[in-house]
Structure 1
Amino acid sequence: MSSASTKKTFRRAGGLAKTRILSFRVIYVAVFAFLVLYTSTIRLAEIALDQHFGRLAVEAAHVTELGTPVATQIQQAMGDLVERSPWITVGGIRVTSLVLGADGISWIYVHGRIRPQQEGLEPTDVLRQAVELLPASTDVTVSVPHTSLLANGILVTYASLLLWGLYAYNRANQRRYARQTQDAVAARDRAAGRAAEIENELISARRRLQTIEPSEQSQGAEIVEL
């Protein structure tokens, strides 16, 4: 008996816990959707920014002046187009950039650094360097840290939408519960009114019976006398 009662108790407790958990399923789904949207948006932002900075790096590696060392020109162009971009200085994203020579092995520019350049190069040496290194190839990798301003902006936006949605859902539930309560009260009032009508009808019927019975008794007495 004790074992059976214990099983029933645990079964009831489990059913109650399941009911409570299911009552919050909308909140769980909303939070899960929030996390999926946030991480997906961060990834999409990284892909879009990677393409954006890839185009800028290709533009920076396109050297047209042959009177200045190639590495110096690329460093200046990468600094103007990539390193000092508002996405990096304000948005807080991280960009790792690499520029390689025509052979795909000799590096020209790595994340703001270039090979040490000799001073006072002759124009022929600069031209020889350009012939050896150009056309250059670029490789850019973009990451959006979760502590960056861009990631925090995305997080705040989705969090605001989540809170607004939960607030609207809660208000809708409250309105639904209020309507259900009003309907229940109205049904109770209708039932009470109907019960009062039935009670009044019963009282009227009793009164009619009370008035009918004496007349029937007198009629019966008259019949007996006849």
Structure 2
Amino acid sequence: MNIKDYYSGMSRLYIHQSILCVIVFMVIIFPALQITNFFPTNTAGILILTMLIYFIFRHIYFVYKSHSLPNPSIFHNEGEVLLMLEPSPVTAYQGKLFSGSGYCVFSIKKGRKQAKKALFTITDHRKNTYWMAKVNDFGIQLLKIRKEISFEALKSDKREFHTTDGNDYRIVKSAYTFSIKKNGMKIMTVSRGLMPISMQRIFSASTPIIKFDRQTNEEERIFCLLLYFTN
């Protein structure tokens, strides 16, 4: 998936919501208005019409975006360092992360809780590999698809985690940024409002930007993303 597919999916989502609003208005609200002039009925009608107008404008916006975007392949790939975060049009997904060239790199999907553990499935679209993560009050376990534990961090404080190999990870939050430090060194930063102008043809200006240190391995990156989504 690339960012053009994402915008196309969003445009379809909003047109479906618009159709639903029309059906609700025609089947429920309009007949009720013919029978009575009751205040709650009028209010519901105004609310449905307002939602319909909003959904139509959002549909038009995403149709425009999907057709005005250049082919992502003409952009220089930002590689492993810069990833963009966009909410997914599929509600089952916690989020999708795109590279600077507009291609989807990671998808994170939240599953059902099991024995007070939140389960996540992470897809690495570049390598077509899958990971499973178990998150609870005691820490995070990252498993490969064969259920082998490849990374485990135990929570030592509200914002601190410790691994068996002696590494310490700490969450640092501020009003506009979210970062994670490993042994005092920053390895991931999430910021908003700093989108380069050249990238705004693909991503909105308010899209969060995720930057990883070049030395972080794949397990650490997925671990950092899970910390971001669960804190």
TM-score range, shorter chain: under 0.3
TM-score by length of 2: 0.24
Higher-strand-fraction structure: 2
Give the TM-score of the pair, scaled to structure 1.
0.24
Instruction: Choose between structure 1 and 2 for higher RCO, CA contacts under 8 A separated by at least 6 residues.
Output: 1
